[in-house]
């Protein structure tokens, strides 16, 4: 069960203590795209996301949109937000994570994955030995596959809650 437990849990990407992460030595932020940065059906980032990312880049972070979605979905966000992208990342497999570490010549302890799904973002990051931050999904208007994952996810959440590991809406750092 340990592999499902995020190191940190926040309601959204704006609540994350980025300064603290920076002080811990985190230099690279891997952001999931769908339902983490924008709802799954939305094609453009909001002004708030742009402002947050501009701020984070000024702090010194390198931002990488690390998404299981195809390039045609992820690329426009990379352009618009002026950040790196890694589409078709195949989370929770280690392959994509390894690729990023190699490409940016960084160590596990310098990276964090921020995402809304236990079964991809959190397991993937935990298995890779990098810091994991769970946030609540922005939208519930998901595609069928995500809805099925969400169903499994809710059951897992229940199990974690029963074991006092993680409770929906009880955020921690």
Q: Does 34 bind Mg ion (CB under 5 A)?
A: yes
Measured from the CB atom, the residue of 101 and 135 that comes closer to Mg ion is: 135
Q: Does 35 bind Mg ion (CB under 5 A)?
A: yes
Q: Does 132 bind Mg ion (CB under 5 A)?
A: no
Token pair for 107: 């160590």
Closest distance of CB 58 from Mg ion, Å: 26
Closest distance of CB 33 from Mg ion, Å: 7
Residues whose CB is less than 8 angstroms from the CB of residue 121 and which lie 6 or more positions away in sequence, other chains included:
32, 36, 91, 92, 113, 114, 115, 132, 134
* DSSP tally for the chain: helices H, then strands E: 6, 6
Q: Does 69 bind Mg ion (CB under 5 A)?
A: no
Helix residue spans in the chain (DSSP H): 18-23, 47-59, 71-81, 94-103, 123-128, 144-162
Measured from the CB atom, the residue of 5 and 38 that comes closer to Mg ion is: 38
Q: Count of residues binding Mg ion (CB under 5 A)? A: 5
Task: Give residues 98-127 in contact with Mg ion (rule: CB under 5 A).
Answer: 116
């Amino acid at each position: 069960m340990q592999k499902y437990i995020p190191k940190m849990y926040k309601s959204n990407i704006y609540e994350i203590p980025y300064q603290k992460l920076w002080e811990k030595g985190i230099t690279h932020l891997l952001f999931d795209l769908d339902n983490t940065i924008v709802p799954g059906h939305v094609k453009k980032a909001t002004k708030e996301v742009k402002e947050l990312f501009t701020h984070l880049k000024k702090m010194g972070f390198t931002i990488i949109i690390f998404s299981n979605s195809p390039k045609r979905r992820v690329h426009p966000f990379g352009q618009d937000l002026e950040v790196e992208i890694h589409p078709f990342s195949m989370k929770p497999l280690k392959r994509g994570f390894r690729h990023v570490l190699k490409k940016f010549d960084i160590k596990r302890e310098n990276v964090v994955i921020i995402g809304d799904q236990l079964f991809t973002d959190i397991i993937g990051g935990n298995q890779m030995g990098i810091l994991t931050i769970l946030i609540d999904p922005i939208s519930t208007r998901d595609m069928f596959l995500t809805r099925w994952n969400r169903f499994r996810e809710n059951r897992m959440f229940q199990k974690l809650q029963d074991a006092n590991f993680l409770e929906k809406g009880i955020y921690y750092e």
